[in-house]
Amino acid sequence: MLSRKKLTLPMLFVCLVTVGVAFSAPATSRPKTWSTNFEAALAASKQQDKPLLVHFYAPWCGPCRQMDAEVLKSAQLAKQVRGRVIAVKVDTDRRSDLVRRYGIESLPTDLMIDSNGKVMYRTAGYQSPGEYLAVVNRYYKRFDAAKQIRIAAKALAEEPPGKVSISDGLIAKTEPTERPSVTSVSEGATKTILGMEGYSPVSLWNGRKWVKGSKKFASVYKGITFYMASQAELDEFESEPLHYSPRLLGCDPVIMSQSDRAVAGSVRYGAYYGGELYMFVSDDNRKRFKAAPLSFSRTRHVIKTDQIEGTVLR
């Protein structure tokens, strides 16, 4: 056995190196968060319909180096943007054309650009990790909400009427007998919104069936006009309108929870939860609600009819 006294410095060095190799973690290839090819990143943004996050910097810029080390290389940012955002760094010393195109006047500067090439936001100067993550997350949610609206609008415009599943706690199945008409109703000088695309909320609640209402049995609740199928239904609705009308004035709770936007849901996608009707712009959002109903049903907003956007109610 080799004694400690005979362990020379060169041998000790060899031992330390050997131990270091033996106990070091194996190298793993992790996906890169940031690319450096702007054109390829822009093309990927359009192709994948994802926002483009652009960081303008220069090698000589002190705040740029600090932000790169503390923010851009953080595991938290990598986790947040991966799969959601296309991220690219631009060296302003090499890309004066992009500096001119986007009007970069100070460094570092960060932009988020939607898949159509429109600049959604711009920040200049050093951003702390918390500030940067919050801004990226907020504008990603806005982009995602707008994307969901586009997808839902396209589906409603192109697809024929299909089965509408109403989930109770989440359950009843039915289907409209005709394609819903999308109209608005005028009450004097005030323009109101036609709720539930003209289907009776009382018929839906009592029988879990989509039954077309009539203008003869109309009732306005919080600026939304609802049609009932009979005088008895009208009396029932007006005795307790909060009970029968959809939550959030029929706006999608998933979008509202994530982006504070009031986007009208569709009768094609509804869910009863806790005895209350929620409406969604897409089946994906209904599934997201069903997976975590408490987180979305607790959304509390004061909504006015002029804030409601979308293609279903207008």
Does 15 participate in catalysis according to the annotation?
A: no
Does 64 participate in catalysis according to the annotation?
A: yes
Which among 64, 71, 133, 193 is annotated as catalytic? Answer: 64
Distance between CA atoms of residues 307 and 226, nearest Å: 18
Distance between CA atoms of residues 132 and 85, nearest Å: 14
Which among 61, 185, 228, 271 is annotated as catalytic? Answer: 61
Catalytic residues: 61, 64
